[in-house]
Structure 1
């Protein structure tokens, strides 16, 4: 794979996970094995806050993106669609919400 070959995030990232950040917020964490993979992802428009907001169907500006170069990681925080544990919430712990990120093409 060269820098110009398109790659899905699931192929580039070492760990992609999601979890609650309190009952009303969701956090997505993406970890990479090295600086080159991290820099490619961090510089991609596909992982900009607005793109992730569109992917998760939340309001533009609702997604906060944190770049953590020392950890080779990117973190996103956004409001949950439903408060954790309320009727209709299918993922009490927010642990299955990372799926859409896996297919993002960088």
Structure 2
């Protein structure tokens, strides 16, 4: 069973302003992009389970020419809050690495 870390050559997460988090998944080629970019396993339910995101506020933007997908969700609390542990969200992608796509 393929995992995210098996089919992307680069993945990053970052804040997209004080109210959103975004992920960029660069697939290792056209075939991986075609097979997995729109996988339900990269959908709102996964982001709700892993990050507590409201599924209604998960946005999915495939970029075919770059073989990548951008996935964004609204933060559950604004950036820089009292209990913030990763203010720039640079480490949030780690939870996605072992998501099984098949």
Map 1:79-90 → 2, pairs under 5 A: 79-90=74-85
Match of 1:55, SS state, is helix
Let me know the Cα RMSD of the aligned residues.
1.4
* Structure with higher strand content: 2
TM superposition score normalised by structure 2: 0.89
Q: Larger Cα Rg: Structure 1 or Structure 2? A: 1
Contact 2:19–2:79 (CA<8 Å) still a contact in 1? yes
Map 1:29-68 → 2, pairs under 5 A: 29-68=24-63
Aligned with 1:101 (options 77, 89, 96): 96
What 5-or-longer segments of structure 1 have no aligned partner? 1-5
- Equivalent pairs counted in the alignment come to 101
What 5-or-longer segments of structure 2 have no aligned partner? none
